[in-house]
Amino acid sequence: MKDFKQFEAVKKEYNVRTTIRNSRVAKKISNHLGYEFKGYIGSGMYGDAYKISSEGRLYVLKLTKDRDEAKLAEKLRHKNTKHLINYFDVRLLKTELIKDFEVYSIIMEYVEPIMGNLPDTNIEVIDDICDWMTENDLNLDSYSEVKEHLKEKGYSIDSTVYEYIVQLDELSKEIKKFHLNTNVDLHSGNLGIRDKDLVFYDISTFDYSWLQLKPLKF
């Protein structure tokens, strides 16, 4: 667990050697919570993500220093949303080996990213819809406007494109339903697929100071 002390120094410039060491930390935590550790997925500015499993089902264990992200995950835990990632467990890690700053463990569902699993042309149209949504505070109330925007970009509005519009509209409504910040980082790199549904799995965060997290002591 002493490896967590490297988070502060490397949060902006992660390197492979650090993530390998932190994988050992993640393995200990996943085993402690009753999951089988599968391996490293990737890193962000504030932490790492790892693939874990239980009873044949894949999950993601995320270790993060981002307190707001942990609280957002707690707010959405067990909500069973259609287009937002499902969260199952959120803990504040309590150990003598982590004294300098707080570290949180988040267990969430695993979804395949759309990058590499959808044709490039589909990825491009999704990103253009996301860009339009971002510029319009996630409002997709008028499909005609976004359709016109896509036509100007050279897209034909076929059944596939229309389905993406509908799903991203549903996603925006879920964000507002749970009173999440509409200033989110919505793009293809943060979207996955659950069955045939688009799923937003890396949601921007903001403060939920009233929420309480369960501690994980070991």
* pTM, to two decimals: 0.79
The residues that bridge with 201 in the sheet, in sequence order, are none
d(C-alpha 24, C-alpha 17), whole Å: 12
- Domain range list for the chain: 2-110, 120-200
Going by pLDDT thresholds of 50, 70 and 90, the confidence category of residue 167 is very high
What percentage of the chain exceeds 70 in pLDDT?
A: 80
What would the pLDDT profile of 177-210 be if each residue is shown by its tens digit? 988 877 788 999 999 999 999 999 987 544 444 3
What would the pLDDT profile of 86-116 be if each residue is shown by its tens digit? 999 999 877 655 556 678 899 999 999 999 9
Exposure string of 164-201, with b = 16+ CB inside 10 Å and e = fewer, is bbebbbbbbebbeeeebebebebebebbbebeeebbbb
d(C-alpha 72, C-alpha 205), whole Å: 6
Residue 101 has a CB neighbour count (10 Å cut-off) of 11
5 or 136, greater pLDDT: 136
**Class at the top of the CATH hierarchy for domain 2-110:** alpha beta
